[in-house]
Amino acid sequence: MPVSAPPGPRSRATRALYLIPLLALLATGCASASGAEPGADPTAAIPLPGPDDGSSDEGSPGTADGGDGAHEPVGDGPLHDRVVVIDPGHNGGNAEASSEINRLVPAGPQQKACDTVGAETGSGYPEHLFNWELSLLVKERLEADGATVILTREDDEGVGPCINERAEIGNEADADAALSIHADGGPETGRGFHVIVPGEVEGYTEEIVEPSRELAEDLRREYREGTDIPYADYLAQDGLDERTDLGGLNMSTVPKVFLEAGNMRNPEDAALLEDPQWQERAANSIARALAVYLLRE
């Protein structure tokens, strides 16, 4: 069942709310959803928030799920009628549950393992924790502008859920967009981020290929502009990678992409991924990308 982060303290002290200028976007229309003036290039990135953006270190993540499966808007902001599913990849208990996460589950035309353990940096910072922390930051920003945000797991101590179950959470919520947040475990010499998009799989992804590609392009643009991480130089092409073998995409009936936020095994990327201030910037960029996509829809 869909779950959301419970209120309470997080391990990162820095928090920021109301950083996305969505009211201005709504006033000027989707043609200027990138923050540009009317008539300007609609693909230009929204300027990053400045030091006087109203950031605060107070507050805690909200709860989007009322507990009975009905997802009520959490505010009256410009995203008040939008539902977003954020999937923090992996989970903190996976390493101790090999039999459970290795069992085969539906992944489209084939079956794949329920889940995996994930990568980690050279200093031992695990991907599952990075995914969780960044997901909470993105959730805060979207909820600050009224969106209903559903997380696919409720903490970073559990196991799973399986890849098909993560997709089903978005399907059952009839989400307007779904994003799975990860960090790659590529070669140490390679660096950069990439966005994974669903390819066409007959009987599964035909309806989501086009909108997912639009979401991916918004995410690629805003993330590149808002962080110091380049496009991956060891796989994908210009930051986009089309896949037909991922159950999290194949089993989704709503627009969905994966973000590989950087390469945890590359020292340059790892230094950023471990930095709480950089995580704030990354969350700003991800939330802006989702907002641009959602307001266009």
Three-point CA angle 168, 200, 114, nearest 5°: 35
Mean of all residue pLDDT scores within the chain: 83
Q: Is 75 exposed, middle or buried (0-12, 13-18, 19+ CB in 10 A)?
A: middle
What residue ranges in 158-198 does DSSP mark as E strands? 177-184, 194-198
Active site residue ranges: 260
Select from 186, 208, 183 the least CA-distant residue to 198: 208
pLDDT band (50, 70, 90) for residue 72: low
CB 263 within 8 A of CB 186: yes
Query: For residue 43, which phi and psi values (nearest 5 degrees)?
Result: -95, 0
Phi/psi class of residue 141: alpha, beta or left (left: φ > 0; alpha: ψ in -120 to 50)? alpha
pLDDT band (50, 70, 90) for residue 149: very high
Alpha-carbon distance 190 to 233, whole Å?
6
Domains of the chain are 22-38+61-296 (3.40.630.40)
Whether the pLDDT of residue 10 is over 50: the answer is no
CB 195 within 8 A of CB 260: yes
Whether the pLDDT of residue 162 is over 80: the answer is yes
Alpha-carbon distance 231 to 61, whole Å?
30
Q: Give the pLDDT score at 48.
A: 35
For the beta carbon of residue 189, count every other beta carbon within 10 angstroms.
Answer: 10
Helix (H) or strand (E) holding 185: none
Quote the DSSP letter at residue 171: H
pLDDT-wise least confident of 62-76, 132-146, 165-179: 62-76
Query: Which tens digits make up the pLDDT trace of 190-242?
Result: 999 999 999 999 999 999 999 999 999 999 999 999 998 999 999 999 999 99
- What average pLDDT does the segment 19-40 reach? 41
Query: Which tens digits make up the pLDDT trace of 76-87?
Result: 799 999 999 999
Quickly count helices (H) and strands (E) in the chain: 8, 8
pLDDT-wise least confident of 44-58, 190-204, 246-260, 282-296: 44-58
